[in-house]
């Protein structure tokens, strides 16, 4: 298994999901996302969500949901991250 695996190439309009080793850096994740699943936008994939946006903001998750990384249920030591374009 690669350090970073695309789980969902599109989540909603401008997110994707990856399963990655917990120690992967944002730069490493962004580089792999842009290499293997270009977003088609001018800036490409640009941000790894590591904390939820402020409540009430456009990007805030629905009540009871989170955008922050969660542990992978199938592979200990890996996390699922959302990436934004």
- The per-residue pLDDT for range 5-59, each reduced to its tens digit, is 999 998 878 889 999 999 999 999 999 999 999 998 999 999 999 887 777 777 6
Torsion angle, alpha carbons of 78, 45, 15, 50, to 10: 50
Domain that includes residue 56, residue range = 4-13+21-84
CB atoms near residue 38 (< 10 Å): 11
Tell which residue, 3, 83, 12, 9, has the closest CA to residue 48: 83
What tokens does 7 get?
Answer: 């789980």
Decide which of 1 and 32 is more confident. 32
pLDDT band at 70 (very low <50, low <70, confident <90, very high): very high
Number of domains observed in the structure of the chain: 1
């Amino acid at each position: 298994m690669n350090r970073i695996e695309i789980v969902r190439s599109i989540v909603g309009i401008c997110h994707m999901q990856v399963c990655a080793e917990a120690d992967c850096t944002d730069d490493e994740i962004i580089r792999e996302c842009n290499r293997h699943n270009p977003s088609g936008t001018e800036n490409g994939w640009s941000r790894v969500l590591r904390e939820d946006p402020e409540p009430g903001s456009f990007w805030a998750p629905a009540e009871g949901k989170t955008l922050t990384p969660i542990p992978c249920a199938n592979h200990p030591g890996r996390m699922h991250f959302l990436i934004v374009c």
